Structure 1
Amino acid sequence: MRVSVIGCGYLGAVHAAAMADLGHDVIAVDVDAEKIATLRAGLPPFFEPGLPEILSTSLASGRLNFTTEMADVAGATVHFIAVGTPQSDASGAADLRFVDAALDALIPHLGPQDIVVGKSTVPVGTAERLAERLLTAGSTATLVWNPEFLREGFAVKDTLAPDRLVFGVAQGTGHDAALRALHEVYATAIAGGVPVVETDLATAELVKTAANAFLATKISFINAMSEIAEATGANVTELADAIGYDTRIGRRFLNAGVGFGGGCLPKDIRAFSARAEELGLGDSVAFLGEVDAINLRQRQRVIERVLTEGGGAETGLTVAVLGLAFKPHSDDVRDSPALDVALGLVAAGATVVAYDPEAMGAAQKRFPELVVAKNVDQALLGADIAVLVTEWPEFVELDPRRVGDLMTHKRIVDARNVLNPAQWRAEGFHYSSLGRP
């Protein structure tokens, strides 16, 4: 099929390259000329494992092209809207300006039988409003919603072989043709056994926001339990193991630590709450406010733990911060707990030297004053205390003996609960984590 992708940020660039890798003829559009030039050269503007390879092969095949001209989508029959929906400056609501602008720019170039596919994460009711916008403009194209469920670090895999596909299509003219088009777009995944949920527009929108709200709640729940565990001498990891055997609960994402971040979960639960308030149903999701608060409190807990275990910033404390990205296998520092910890320690008066395998450029672009190291050894050299805040394999697999030889004092705060306490204590470290004795 010939498809277009509107927006070449994280979602759009991955989706465009993956669609071309599946054999479709793809034209991807973005207003950022510099970003388009970079992508044309086969260079992703962000770190994502596997993306450089499929980007390179898709460009070489001629199936993938990038442009700044919306008119170039002419001839495509399926158009994916994959622009960002950032948090509004004035409130927690999603800012839909980019979605609206993308559709308005696309409308003049739509054919009468074209399919417009929303992939951006939007508040429920957005798709219905956009469908009316199409009608008002005199377009007979059909609007559907196909939410994304990408995990940063695994986005290529999640696009090529997702764990489910959700197709939201309104009843009426164009319904059957739209479903056929979506089934054709994702034919490879569907043939491989990926489940398909065919539903209405509102449900498709809610699937993404509800999934993120549930995941955020699960993470904040175990972090709240880590506070209780610390106060009572319990072990939150063993607690998670025990309750995780209950198949109704499950063990995944029950790992206590510094909390969640990135460009999705924090903004999406705030946008969900804002939309519920607009619907007069704020009480229904009021718990999400506490989910958010617990998550932000974890960052402060880690900052205070480092200062306490290190002897206080007034002692001239030097801290090695291991990690800046919000999660491993990503260079994304948006709403990153790790970056917040580093900046919080600086604000408290500590001398901070940070290292991250991929995110230092993004972090320094936002905060040029942040001191970063060239490698993990340089970050650790002469440190009074280290804090592991992003669970990169490089950090999880550190040799405590070698680390101890580099540091001035053998102290470490494991803010992801991923290190072996006994191993580190055996090498003379004062080891501290969250919710474990």
Structure 2
Amino acid sequence: MKMAVVGTGYLGATHAACMARLGHEVMGVDIDEAKLSKLRSGEMPFYEPGLEELTREMVASGRLQFTSSYEEAAEFADVHFLAVGTPQKRGEFAADVSALESVIKLLAPLINRPAVILGKSTVPVGTAQEMRALARSLSPVGDDLELGWNPEFLREGHAIKDTLEPDRLVVGVADDGAGRAEAVAREVYADLLANGVPFLLTDLATAELAKTAANAFLATKISFINAIAEVCEAAGADVVQLADALGYDSRIGRAFLNAGLGFGGGCLPKDIRAFMARAGEMGAAQALTFLREVDSINMRRRTQMVEMVKQSCGELLGAHVAVLGAAFKPDSDDVRDSPALNVAGQLQLQGATVNVYDPKAMDNSRALFPTLGYSTSALEACDNADVVVVLTEWKEFRNLDPVELAGIVRQRKMIDGRNCLDPARWIGAGWQYRGFGRASSRTAN
């Protein structure tokens, strides 16, 4: 099929390249000419494993191209995917869908033959119906322009696999346009469906909620185990062993039961807040009051980490702290609402000398927190440190040699903010080790 993907950020660029991989002719659309110039040369404006290589391959094949012209996109494509951002409104919990509305207002008047728009952005429930009515009112073809909703379920660091081998495909349609939107979606994803990927056809509202509810559940699971970690701290229990015990229960599962610094990034925090805000607008605020505590537990982890570092150093003023990790998760350069950078900033504000290292997120970190110290390697960051703090669970950090590191630091103190290290290995090398919910402090005998 000939398709346009409007928005070439993380979601749009990934979707465009993967759709080209499936054999479709794809046109990525964006108003940022600098970004488009990079994409045309196969250069990613962000880091996602394998995506740069895939994009270069698809551009070279001729199946993937990029433009800033909505006129060109409308003429080219029979199906249009919307992948623009829906950030949190400034000073509010609600999502800002103004960029999505702007795209509809620009694109719909140019569509002069029957076509389908499929939204992929995460939006408040009810948005799709509003955008459908708006698009039809603006397009010369009127009701021959159909809009459905096809939410994404990508994990940063695994985006290609999650697009080409998804757990499920969800497509929301309006009753009076179901046949056409469903038929187009099935054609787009024909190869995936042939491989047995489940296809769930729903109404528009259910499709919108499928994404927001999924994120709310995952956030709740993370905050649950972090709350239990606080209990483990008080009881002297080990939250990692406890999570393993829970994970064997098929009703619970082990995924997302890793206690630590908590979640961040551009999705979970703003999505659960927007979910609460929308529920309130619909008169269902009480149904999601628990998400306020989920959010509170998550934010509390950052304050607790700062306190743990302070306890380790005795006094933050003048202390040298090595912060390993800046991205909100490994295999990503995304520092949006990053717990790691938030903690690093708080430590510096309280007087510590902070040196940060991350394998991929250094440029983004400098742009956001220019006053922090930055190092070119983990060993450089740890030079003369009073305490080393692991805040993003990169494989590079999990594989650090505690014996080698001992000869570089000023004090052998390790705070494992992601419970990703082997305590016995570090304690055996003479380090004082502390993790979340893994007993208050451990050291070599």
Bigger shift: residues 147-156 or 137-146 = 137-146
Q: Deviations over 1:296-354 (max 9, x none)?
A: 0001111110111122113x210000000000000000000111111111011100000
Amino acid at match of 1:344: Q
Q: Decide whether the 8 Å contact of 2:261 with 2:302 is kept in 1.
A: yes
Aligned Cα root-mean-square deviation (Å): 0.9
Q: CA deviation at 1:247?
A: 1.1
Q: CA deviation at 1:244?
A: 1.6
Amino acid at match of 1:55: T
Q: Secondary structure at the match of 1:206?
A: helix
Q: CA deviation at 1:135?
A: 2.8
Partners in 2 of 1:108 and 1:170 — Cα distance?
A: 21
Q: Secondary structure at the match of 2:28?
A: strand
Partners in 2 of 1:109 and 1:164 — Cα distance?
A: 32
Q: Residue 404 of structure 2 aligns with which residue?
A: 402
Q: Secondary structure at the match of 1:313?
A: coil
Q: CA deviation at 1:171?
A: 1.1
Q: Residue 34 of structure 1 aligns with which residue?
A: 34
Find out whether 1:254 has 2:257 as its counterpart.
yes
Q: CA deviation at 1:365?
A: 0.9
Find out whether 1:163 has 2:164 as its counterpart.
no
Amino acid at match of 2:352: A
Q: Residue 291 of structure 1 aligns with which residue?
A: 294
Q: Decide whether the 8 Å contact of 1:259 with 1:296 is kept in 2.
A: yes
Q: CA deviation at 1:160?
A: 1.2
Q: Secondary structure at the match of 1:273?
A: helix
Taking structure 2 as the reference length, what is the TM-score of the superposition?
0.96
Structure 1 residue runs of 5 or longer lacking an equivalent are: none
Partners in 1 of 2:29 and 2:246 — Cα distance?
A: 47
Q: Decide whether the 8 Å contact of 1:386 with 1:412 is kept in 2.
A: yes
Q: Secondary structure at the match of 2:373?
A: coil
Amino acid at match of 1:348: Q
Q: Deviations over 1:104-159 (max 9, x none)?
A: 11102224420000000000000011111123225220000000001001111111
Q: CA deviation at 1:245?
A: 1.6
Partners in 1 of 2:180 and 2:239 — Cα distance?
A: 51
Amino acid at match of 1:180: A
Q: Equivalent residues in 2 for 1:59-74 (5 A)?
A: 59-73=59-73, 74=75
Q: Equivalent residues in 2 for 1:313-352 (5 A)?
A: 313-314=316-317, 316-352=318-354
Partners in 2 of 1:404 and 1:310 — Cα distance?
A: 17
Amino acid at match of 1:154: H
Q: Decide whether the 8 Å contact of 2:136 with 2:146 is kept in 1.
A: no
Taking structure 1 as the reference length, what is the TM-score of the superposition?
0.98
Which of these residues, 303, 307, 321, is aligned with residue 304 of structure 1?
Answer: 307
Runs of 4+ more than 4 Å apart: none
Q: Residue 146 of structure 2 aligns with which residue?
A: 142
Partners in 1 of 2:111 and 2:169 — Cα distance?
A: 25
Structure 2 residue runs of 5 or longer lacking an equivalent are: 440-445
Amino acid at match of 2:146: T
Q: Deviations over 1:52-84 (max 9, x none)?
A: 111001100111111111111113100000000
Q: Secondary structure at the match of 2:396?
A: helix
Q: Secondary structure at the match of 1:229?
A: helix
Amino acid at match of 2:147: L
Q: Deviations over 1:396-421 (max 9, x none)?
A: 01111011111111001000001111
